[in-house]
Amino acid sequence: MGFLLGMRYILDRHYYAAYQIPRFRPQDMLSISGAGDSIYYYPENICAETIVNNTVDNLRLRWPNFPNTTQVIPDPTLSTLSDTTLQSIIAYIQFTNLDLCTSPSAMPNEVKYTLRMQENGPNHFQAQFVKIPAAAYLWKRAPEDFCQDKSSINLYTSRFVGIQYFIDMSIIQYVTNTAQNLSSSIFLNHFGCPEYYLDQLHSVYSFFIPIFFSIIFVATFIMNVGYIVNERENKTKEYLRIYGLRTWLNNLVWMIRSMLIFFVLSGVVTGLSIMVLPTRNAGQNSVRKAIFNYAHWTLIWTILFVYSIQVSAFSVLFGQFFKHPFLAKLIAFAVWVVTLIDFYPDVSVGVRYFLCLFPNMGLLFCLQVVLQYEREGSRIFYAMKNENKQYLGGMTTFKQMYSNEFGYPLYIGVCLILMLIYSVIYFLLAIYVERVNPGEFGVSQSWNYLFRKSYWKPQKTASVQPFDNCDILACKNDGIYGSNCWIELNAIVNSTTPSLIISNLSKKFGKIQAVSDLSLNFYKGEVCTLLGHNGAGKTTTTFILVGMLEPTSGHITIEGLDNRMHIEQIRKILGFCPQYDILYDDLSVQEHLELIGKIRHIEPKQMNESIEAIIHLIGLVSDRQTLSKKLSGGMKRRLSIGISLMGDPKVLILDEPTSGIDPYNRRLIWTIIRKMKEAGKCIILTTHFLQEADVLSDRIAIMSHGCLQANGTPAFLKNQLDFEYRLFIEKNETYQNERITAFIQRYIPMIALERESISEMIFGIRRTESKYIGKLIHALDEQSKDVGIESYGLSMTTIEEVFLKLIQEDEQGKTNYQSQTQTRLDLANK
């Protein structure tokens, strides 16, 4: 805006008073310098020849230096003449109705002729500029400017009118056979020029005004696009959608946010636009000036405010097509520049109204019409005087919004209405595009989802039936690696209807198979833990369950609702604690819970009760008003779990809830999970702490490379190992392996040596022989030193051992499979 105000100060605005052009006689207005040396005419007959000769004679009587050369041509189109000949012509006279004329008596009552003169060069007559074309004054100069200029008028009066007058006199002389008085008192007079303000900013540099106005808004537009795309990239938007945040509401918030900034900008720009600046040259008819001298501030503000609405809606729609903020901002800037400059000066009004689809085009066309009134300021000046001829001042009403100063059907009011209509279309399209193409995170709808009855009236579906308690294995034993899977049939007997059913779920990222044909059931009042190494597919599975990722294939049913068709309804009964805390630094503990409660449309009284219960449950009573950025890591994890509990969800998904926190906070979170289980919730837990899985889980599902390797109760999985107990022996300096082994086998004959090192021996004890452990321990206490044993230890089988064995076998199977595949390829190549 500073550049525009600087231009306004530098570029003067001059006042020109009205004046009357003196009258003149046409025979006195003839300039022939450098005009040529011949007059050509058509047709070739006595009438035309006589009239032309008389015209030349009369011209030479008045202007002795006028050339006396005349030439008849056979072709009225002049196509047979060379360029040199054409340059020598002063005037070409074509009589259009004298072809058959042979005498004065044969002359028609009305003689028609066309007079053509040279159009090239600064001092030659150009007929097209006698009447100024609309394109010359619609967008740059005012008609009064051309009147004050007088250049085109002077060319007309100094050459064309004089020759025309002598032709007319010669026709009268030929028909009447009477000499004409060439000194007659026939006078011509131009209309006068009205008073006029010549404003260089509004005429020569008017295109800068919409450009600078638009530049003022571009930074906020680009930043808004970047924020919208960044919200999608960092999963914040999808995270809030899990708790019921509607797409249209989120988009509306972004619109309102940017509009609040634009509202302030519009007011500042409007105020600066009507600010009057002093003149720089007081002695040269210069007057004070503003960017807009006649337009009322309410009109300028209305244009900018409607423009702000459209820019805000456009930014929301634009952000739906990109995944990376930098690329989005770069292309947004390019689109802004392309639509900023007027490349369409000659298009029709209909095309201009269509181009209002782009915010910058709508602003451009509105300001162009305003500048028409600005350049025609004197007309508004006269129209807005009262009975006492006092100036009322500018466009104080909106009546000009549906009119045009020059009859051109481009109206500010229509442009503004179209901009508002396009804004609504942008907003609706943004919602549609986001549902059809949610990006990396989110479940997409089909392109015709709006026309499906199931979208408007969702019903529970029975298309996905529960499995017989996990008796179907996700990783089929079809010859590939991963066939050593342990599945406990009928693991759950206290429930008949699963809360959540996963059926043949697969997810592929490019060539990487993250989840492969996974099938699982989850039940109320149960904690089911997903275990697996990094990259096993646990987090991907949880993201698919909450709708943050779309599965490549397979089905998920939660409380009877399909997550592809009814994800919005599912999210109302779903709670999710992500792997990483997604919190707002400047919101307190209670404000986080209130935010989620309002998003989930919980009644105020019920919400307050829920917040109190959750704050007590997660142990943050004394920190309820503490900002999240001041909380410790453990407190943040507890807050994230508390957020997932808002709305009393039926299904709770906790993605590594104890990751990166101290043992004290871990134990607190375990207590919270147990209480949620007692409340009858279906809890799905992922973790890397195997002790945690053993302590909390009713059932454990182990994944590797996207496949299900095991599923059952902790006791069932432990029983799948060969040994229930392990005996750890530390040797002393006098040890003998055979002696130690023989001593132990004396009490447990079937004990097996699993591993051995220089200082340690590990024996496995099967479940059937665990009854002999007591005698062995008693003997070790009394005789261990005698047989070469320094110390010993006994442990039960842990989930960690189950996990390691499964992963080890899976990796070995993968290696064998790849080796077999390579062997087949080598044989095939041979």
Q: What is the pLDDT of residues 679-719, one digit of tens each?
A: 889 999 998 888 888 889 899 998 888 888 888 888 888 87
pLDDT of residue 285: 67
Would the pLDDT of 799 be above 60?
A: yes
User: Which carries the bigger pLDDT value, residue 464 or residue 260?
Assistant: 260
pLDDT of residue 473: 42
Backbone angles phi, psi at 562, to 5 degrees: -75, 130
Structure-token pair, residue 209 = 């005004």
At residue 764 the predicted structure's pLDDT band, cuts being 50, 70 and 90, is confident
- Own/partner pairs, 381-384, CB within 8 angstroms, 24+ separation: 381/294
- List 277's β-bridge partners, or say none: 289
Q: What is the DSSP letter of 120?
A: S
Structure-token pair, residue 650 = 């039926």
Q: Tell me how far apart the alpha carbons of residues 520 and 706 are, in angstroms, rounded to a whole number.
A: 13
| pLDDT tens readout for residues 557-601 | 998 888 877 887 888 888 888 888 888 888 899 999 998 888 888
Q: Tell me how far apart the alpha carbons of residues 28 and 30 are, in angstroms, rounded to a whole number.
A: 6
Would the pLDDT of 237 be above 90?
A: no
Q: Give every CB contact of residue 71 below 8 A, 6+ residues apart in sequence.
A: 38, 39, 40, 41
Q: Tell me how far apart the alpha carbons of residues 3 and 787 are, in angstroms, rounded to a whole number.
A: 96
Q: What is the DSSP letter of 321?
A: G
Q: What pTM was estimated for this model as a whole?
A: 0.68
At residue 122 the predicted structure's pLDDT band, cuts being 50, 70 and 90, is low
- Per the CB < 8 A criterion, the answer to whether 214 and 166 are in contact is no
Would the pLDDT of 50 be above 60?
A: yes
pLDDT of residue 487: 65
**CATH 3.30.70.250 in the chain, residue ranges:** 722-796
State the chain's mean pLDDT as an integer: 80
Please list the helix, strand and coil fractions of the chain in percent, rounded to the nearest 5, in that order.
Answer: 45, 15, 35
- List 792's β-bridge partners, or say none: 729
User: Which carries the bigger pLDDT value, residue 812 or residue 785?
Assistant: 785
Domain 722-796 has CATH 3.30.70.250: yes
| pLDDT tens readout for residues 458-496 | 655 544 444 444 344 434 343 333 444 566 654 444 556
- List 682's β-bridge partners, or say none: 526, 651
Would the pLDDT of 242 be above 90?
A: no
Alpha-helical (H) ranges within 12-94 are 46-62, 83-87
**CATH 3.40.50.300 in the chain, residue ranges:** 486-714
Would the pLDDT of 652 be above 90?
A: yes
In the block, tokens 């466009």 appear at: 395
How many C-beta neighbours within 10 Å does residue 827 have? 8
Domain 486-714 has CATH 3.40.50.300: yes
Q: Is 389 helix (H, G, I), strand (E, B) or coil?
A: coil
Q: Tell me how far apart the alpha carbons of residues 22 and 247 are, in angstroms, rounded to a whole number.
A: 72
Average pLDDT over residues 60-82: 83
What's the one-letter identity of residue 514?
A
Q: What is the DSSP letter of 432?
A: H
Would the pLDDT of 198 be above 80?
A: no
Would the pLDDT of 416 be above 90?
A: yes
